[in-house]
Structure 1
Amino acid sequence: MMRFFLLVMSAALMASCMMQLPRNVDRTLPDGQCLAIASQRITALVVTKQTDITSWISCGFSQKVAPKDANGGTACPISSDGYFLTADHVVKNSATQIVHVIYGRGSRIQTAPARVIWRDAKHDIALLHAPLNTPNYYQFTSPEYTMPAGTPIFHGGITTGLKPIYGALSSDIPAQRGFGSAHRFRIDIPLQPGDSGGPILDARARLIGVNSSVEFFVPLETPIFTESQGIRPHLAQIRKLIEQDRRR
């Protein structure tokens, strides 16, 4: 019994020692190369009852021929075979409408309808799959370390994400262990309509999480930006969901 107790205590102490405290903030700022990486991975989502949107795309997304019921946002490619993360509220009507993925830019645009594989409304995150080759995709930041507040970031939403607008984490993102749930965090970059579901990236263009929402303080009817929120998925959970879907 004593030996078992000592083993349990040893395991607990080792686990506590393995938890990573916040590292010193890496003050490296994003640069033009990071914007180029995000540009190669730009992905829009259009949610509509219209089954074919290729004519709209071929017209350069003209407002005159846009689907009248269209809503949408941004997505993050996270594998070479068509898996994407986005904000759950972007695909909330997926039961009655079609989620179209538009991946790439210019002459390299690809589009296909997507399946919603998994949704987490509580944490505002969803996993999609589209039958597309997506060779340009995001690598995640390491889940083994806490990312401290003050870490420089930028984001890749379709509305404002490809402009050189940089910011920082406003809250820590804890290290991940085993299986768990997504984590909500704060950033100091304002978001615009269409940015939801887009990537929040570090200075090396690695994926931290996805854009979720923006908050304003409204004194005397004059909105003042306070903060935006992002969602960090639990990476082990996402990888497991993808592997399960690949075997279906």
Structure 2
Amino acid sequence: MNVLLLSAVASLLLLQSAPVAEPRTVTPRGDLAADERATIDLFRNARDSVVFISTRQRVADFWTRNVYSVPRGSGSGLIWDGAGHIVTNYHVIEGASEAQIQMSDGRQFNAQLVGVSPQHDLAVLKIGGAGFSAPTRVPIGTSSDLQVGQNVFAIGNPFGLDWTLTKGIVSALDRSLPNENGPDIRHLIQTDAAVNPGNSGGPLLDSAGRLIGINTAIYSPSGASAGISFAVPVDTVMRVVPQLIANGRYTRPALGIESDEEINDRLKRASGIDGVFILSVEPGSAAERVGLVGVQRTRRGILPGDVIVALNSRPVSRLGDLLARLDDFQVGQKVQLTLLRAGEERNVSVDLQPGI
């Protein structure tokens, strides 16, 4: 009896000394800040125009000769128009045999390749057929009037994490990256928005929700975002994409000359002249019509030809730089070249011709 009584008294004492868990009240949040509301609206308005791209590659088994497809990679893209054209990076679909597009609402479509421009790291795919209806497209902005410090927003699918929004600022303008497929990729927008593998091909937007670039590359020793990313400016996209849709390829403006980066470097070191050495001039080309001269072989030996030192008064010192500068123009437009010939400087005007 005493044992039961002691146990009851002990239980009562424990209950009386136990802390009471009082419920916390929720503090009303109040209205979102104006910039938060603007960011939310920007994402909602643009999200449906961004797609997830997954690619596959056909391979053949050496022993069985069976052909099958294996996953190759993934990236992002932007619905360009009501016809179902999608803009993405060339490197997203490079080497792929198949591409599948997933919309933000879960619908999936097989895509056809329309055209590519490796020198701009741009490609156009097309989807369509039953069940496809184009969402409201992202409005087009400009990149020529961007300023360092203004806000930018990237939407994409980093590491397969679909429809991710990141925010940053324009860190620098007019950056250039070397390009294995041709001239340097110029006029790139540098931002500190978090961009990772899978973001490639997705849109870069300004604070008005307008397209100002296509995210294309990052600088990162680790392979993940290090706060330095690059986007192809929308002014370049607007020049290249219509040609890809219409012709399947981009026709670059050219002078009709032949040069070589490696030979050019050797000639620069040997002569001390900083410019682009013309090795030869194509017969019937725009360059020949205005009298440009390449390297000549005579009885006295090899005579150097013209050296292009400036384009429209802007110095050029590398072949890649010259080709990239020419890409700012269109076939048929006139440019002024500053040349050195036998140590004398002269200016000539050239009508740009279609390049190969």
User: TM-score of the superposition, structure 1-length normalised?
Assistant: 0.65
Shift in CA distance, 164/114, structure 1 to aligned 2, threshold 3 Å? closer
Task: List aligned pairs for 1:12-27, cutoff 5 A.
Answer: none
Question: Displacement of 1:80 after TM fit?
Answer: 1.4
Alignment-derived partner of residue 153 in structure 1:
152
2:238 pairs, out of 232, 235, 238, with 235
State the Cα deviation string for residues 95-148 of structure 1 (Å, max 9, x = none): xx101111222xxx33222222221223211111112432322221036x4212
Alignment-derived partner of residue 86 in structure 2:
84
Counterparts of 1:223 and 1:38, CA distance in 2: 25
State the Cα deviation string for residues 130-181 of structure 1 (Å, max 9, x = none): 12432322221036x421222211111123685553101122369xxxxxx9
1:136 to 2:136 alignment: yes
Higher relative strand content: 2
Counterparts of 1:72 and 1:83, CA distance in 2: 18
Counterparts of 1:75 and 1:224, CA distance in 2: 19
Q: Find the residue that maps to 1:190 and give its secondary structure.
A: coil
2:212 pairs, out of 208, 212, 216, with 208
Shift in CA distance, 234/35, structure 1 to aligned 2, threshold 3 Å? closer
Alignment-derived partner of residue 121 in structure 2:
124
Alignment-derived partner of residue 66 in structure 2:
none
Counterparts of 1:182 and 1:84, CA distance in 2: 22
User: TM-score of the superposition, structure 2-length normalised?
Assistant: 0.47
1:186 to 2:194 alignment: no
Give the gaps of 5 or more residues in structure 1.
Answer: 1-27, 51-66, 175-180
Greater Rg by CA: 2
State the Cα deviation string for residues 32-60 of structure 1 (Å, max 9, x = none): 1001123222301110148xxxxxxxxxx
Counterparts of 1:123 and 1:38, CA distance in 2: 24
Counterparts of 2:44 and 2:162, CA distance in 1: 11
Question: Displacement of 1:241 after TM fit?
Answer: 3.5
Shift in CA distance, 129/223, structure 1 to aligned 2, threshold 3 Å? closer
Question: Displacement of 1:234 after TM fit?
Answer: 3.7
Q: Find the residue that maps to 1:31 and give its secondary structure.
A: helix
Counterparts of 1:244 and 1:91, CA distance in 2: 19
Structure 1 counterpart of 2:171, one-letter code: S
Alignment-derived partner of residue 101 in structure 2:
101
Question: Displacement of 1:224 after TM fit?
Answer: 7.9
Count of equivalent residues: 187
Counterparts of 2:186 and 2:162, CA distance in 1: 23
Give the gaps of 5 or more residues in structure 2.
Answer: 1-34, 59-68, 176-184, 249-356
1:172 to 2:180 alignment: no
Which structure 1 residue ranges, 4+ long, deviate > 6 Å from structure 2? Answer: none
Q: Are the counterparts in 2 of residues 215 and 228 from structure 1 also a CA contact under 8 Å?
A: yes
Counterparts of 1:183 and 1:133, CA distance in 2: 34
1:36 pairs, out of 24, 38, 44, with 44
Q: Are the counterparts in 1 of residues 206 and 212 from structure 2 also a CA contact under 8 Å?
A: yes
State the Cα deviation string for residues 186-219 of structure 1 (Å, max 9, x = none): 111122221111111111221111111111257x
Q: CA RMSD in A?
A: 3.0
Counterparts of 1:237 and 1:125, CA distance in 2: 8
Percent identical across equivalent pairs? Answer: 19
Structure 1 counterpart of 2:47, one-letter code: S
Structure 2 counterpart of 1:166, one-letter code: K
Q: Find the residue that maps to 1:147 and give its secondary structure.
A: coil
Q: Are the counterparts in 1 of residues 50 and 203 from structure 2 also a CA contact under 8 Å?
A: no
